[in-house]
């Protein structure tokens, strides 16, 4: 029986591919033991046990960005985290470690190296994080979501997708999606989403411009996020939700999307063939713009700066696009052509190669 030790978490971008890989391992090896290393504060604390996997935790350990007292304490805390993780690996007789970035991954990579246990890495973003940049120096088994991601030993595997997205047949699901969201199958649908917490600039621009979109003959499914402060104008053809637990159905009925460019969003849209207008998150290290680069280059999506995504832009750019259904169909085909549905299988193959190389 193989013992797998999966490390990562903090955000959905780390937890969801981890769970997709765990599920695929369980499909292939029902008797394998899967243990997840995370923190008590991250999403993994809720999502991992809910999926039926054992979670063990270490203290949250952010990398210091500047010299201060926290930086002085960091090395000691890192040594403790690595020691705890080494103990887990020894006590549970771990055969292979798999890291997905996030706070738990760096200690897992260092512990695996010290214990001479093979490990594999999955990097979700086009611009890799610090933990995976560290770990990639010490293993040949590095899977990336985007081909241009710069990491040592990188192999393109794509994004391990949630099962409901990986197996989605958007055409057969459209009837159910229309009923779920009270939408009209005869009208094209614009999906607007900024992720689970929402995107204030996207929400306010769409809210101020929804009449223009409806006037172009489209309907709108607007998933505004839990923190949204916009009101519902109750216009026919406009559906406003704060949260959606059936994103597979939302994607199934979408003819075009307006969204942030998180790696999971971009990967899911490409896999299903949903063309998009991406409005990258303007704060951070710019990884969202890079995440969208391949599909934009392939002409399967367009990109607009957050500061430029205004009602004026909707009027001058988005509405003409909505009226060009032939172009949108071509964009959908181009998006689908570079999408990857079997990222979970590809990543588990890489994990198996790391395990067998021992």
Instruction: Note the pLDDT tens digit of each residue in 33-51.
Output: 999 999 888 888 888 999 9
* Interacting residues of 11 by C-beta distance below 8 A, sequence separation 6+: 42, 43, 102
Q: What is the pLDDT of residue 260?
A: 95
100 and 184 co-located in one domain: no
Would you tell me how many other CB atoms lie within 10 Å of the CB of residue 102?
28
In whole angstroms, what is the distance from residue 176 CA to residue 182 CA? 10
345 and 256 co-located in one domain: no
Q: Among the listed ranges 1-5, 7-11, 303-307, which one has the minimum average pLDDT value?
A: 7-11
Q: What is the pLDDT of residue 167?
A: 95
In whole angstroms, what is the distance from residue 155 CA to residue 145 CA? 9
75 and 205 co-located in one domain: no
Q: Percentage of the chain with pLDDT > 90?
A: 81
Q: Among the listed ranges 19-28, 29-38, 125-134, 281-290, which one has the minimum average pLDDT value?
A: 281-290
Residue 291 maps to which CATH number? 3.40.50.2000
Average pLDDT, integer, range 149-176:
95
Average pLDDT, integer, range 345-353:
98
pLDDT at 196 over 80: no
Asked if 177 contacts 249 with a C-beta cutoff of 8 angstroms, the reply is yes
Both structure tokens of 223 = 């998933």
pLDDT at 14 over 90: no
pLDDT at 311 over 80: yes
Instruction: Give residue for tokens 């979700």.
Output: 124
Q: Percentage of the chain with pLDDT > 70?
A: 96
194 and 205 co-located in one domain: yes
Own/partner long-range contacts of 203-206 (Cβ < 8 Å, ≥24 apart): 203/228, 203/230, 204/230, 205/309, 205/310, 205/311, 205/313, 205/314, 206/258, 206/314
pLDDT at 241 over 80: yes
155 and 187 co-located in one domain: no
In whole angstroms, what is the distance from residue 339 CA to residue 31 CA? 32
Asked if 110 contacts 274 with a C-beta cutoff of 8 angstroms, the reply is no
Asked if 176 contacts 279 with a C-beta cutoff of 8 angstroms, the reply is no
Q: What is the pLDDT of residue 284?
A: 75
151 and 184 co-located in one domain: no
177 and 152 co-located in one domain: no
304: exposed, middle or buried (Cβ count in 10 Å: 0-12, 13-18, 19+): middle
In whole angstroms, what is the distance from residue 133 CA to residue 143 CA? 12
Cα 109 to its chain centre, rounded Å, is: 22
In whole angstroms, what is the distance from residue 77 CA to residue 58 CA? 10
Q: What is the pLDDT of residue 285?
A: 77
In whole angstroms, what is the distance from residue 266 CA to residue 61 CA? 28
Q: What is the pLDDT of residue 228?
A: 84
Mean pLDDT for the chain? 93
Task: Please give the tally of structural domains in the chain.
Answer: 2
In whole angstroms, what is the distance from residue 90 CA to residue 77 CA? 20
Q: DSSP for 117-155?
A: --EEEEE-SSS--HHHHHHGGG-S-EEESSTT---TTEE
Residues 45-104 have pLDDT tens digits of 888 999 999 999 998 877 666 666 666 677 778 899 999 999 999 999 999 999 999 889
Q: What is the pLDDT of residue 122?
A: 98
Residues 254-279 have pLDDT tens digits of 999 999 999 999 999 999 999 999 99
Instruction: Give residue for tokens 């933990």.
Output: 131
321 and 211 co-located in one domain: yes
Q: What is the pLDDT of residue 76?
A: 78
96 and 241 co-located in one domain: no
Question: Helix (H, G, I), strand (E, B), or coil: what is residue 68?
Answer: coil
- Strand (E) or helix (H) holding 215: helix 200-215
Q: Among the listed ranges 73-77, 105-109, 244-248, which one has the minimum average pLDDT value?
A: 73-77
154 and 241 co-located in one domain: no
Average pLDDT, integer, range 325-343:
98
349 and 330 co-located in one domain: no
Average pLDDT, integer, range 135-164:
96
233 and 314 co-located in one domain: yes
pLDDT at 342 over 80: yes
Sheet arrangement for strand 154-156 = 54-57, 33-38, 3-7, 96-99, 119-123, 142-144, 154-156
In whole angstroms, what is the distance from residue 206 CA to residue 181 CA? 18
**Domain containing 229: what range?**
164-337
Q: What is the pLDDT of residue 197?
A: 62
């Amino acid at each position: 029986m193989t013992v797998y030790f999966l490390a990562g978490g903090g955000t959905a971008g780390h937890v969801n591919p981890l769970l997709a890989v765990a599920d695929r391992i369980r499909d292939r090896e029902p008797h394998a033991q899967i243990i997840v290393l995370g923190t008590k504060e991250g999403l993994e604390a809720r999502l991992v046990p809910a999926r039926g996997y054992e979670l063990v935790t270490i203290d949250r350990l952010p990398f210091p960005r500047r010299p201060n007292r926290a930086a002085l304490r960091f090395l000691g805390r890192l040594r403790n985290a690595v020691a705890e993780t080494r103990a887990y690996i020894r006590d549970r007789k771990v055969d292979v470690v798999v890291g997905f970035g996030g706070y738990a991954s760096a200690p897992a990579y260092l512990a695996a190296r010290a214990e001479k246990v093979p490990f594999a890495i999955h990097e979700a973003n086009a611009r890799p994080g610090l933990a995976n940049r560290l770990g990639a120096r010490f293993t040949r088994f590095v899977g990336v979501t985007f081909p241009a991601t710069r990491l040592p030993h990188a192999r393109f595997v794509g994004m391990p997708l949630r099962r409901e997205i990986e197996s989605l047949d958007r055409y057969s699901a459209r009837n159910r999606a229309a009923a779920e969201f009270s939408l009209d199958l005869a009208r094209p649908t614009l999906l607007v989403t900024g992720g689970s917490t929402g995107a204030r600039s996207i929400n306010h621009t769409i809210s101020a411009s929804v009449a223009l979109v409806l006037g172009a003959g489209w309907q709108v499914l607007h998933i505004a996020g839990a923190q949204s402060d916009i009101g519902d104008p109750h216009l026919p053809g406009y559906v406003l939700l704060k949260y959606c637990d059936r994103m597979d159905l939302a994607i199934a009925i979408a003819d075009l999307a307006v969204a942030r460019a998180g790696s999971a969003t971009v990967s899911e849209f490409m896999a299903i063939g949903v063309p998009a207008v991406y409005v990258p998150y303007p704060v951070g290290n710019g990884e969202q713009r890079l995440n969208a680069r391949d599909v934009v280059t392939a002409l399967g999506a367009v990109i607009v700066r957050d500061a430029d995504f205004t009602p004026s832009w909707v009027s001058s750019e988005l509405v003409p696009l909505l009226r060009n259904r032939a172009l949108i169909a071509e964009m959908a085909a181009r998006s689908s052509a570079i999408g990857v549905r079997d990222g979970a299988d590809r990543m588990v193959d890489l994990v198996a190669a790391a395990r067998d190389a021992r």
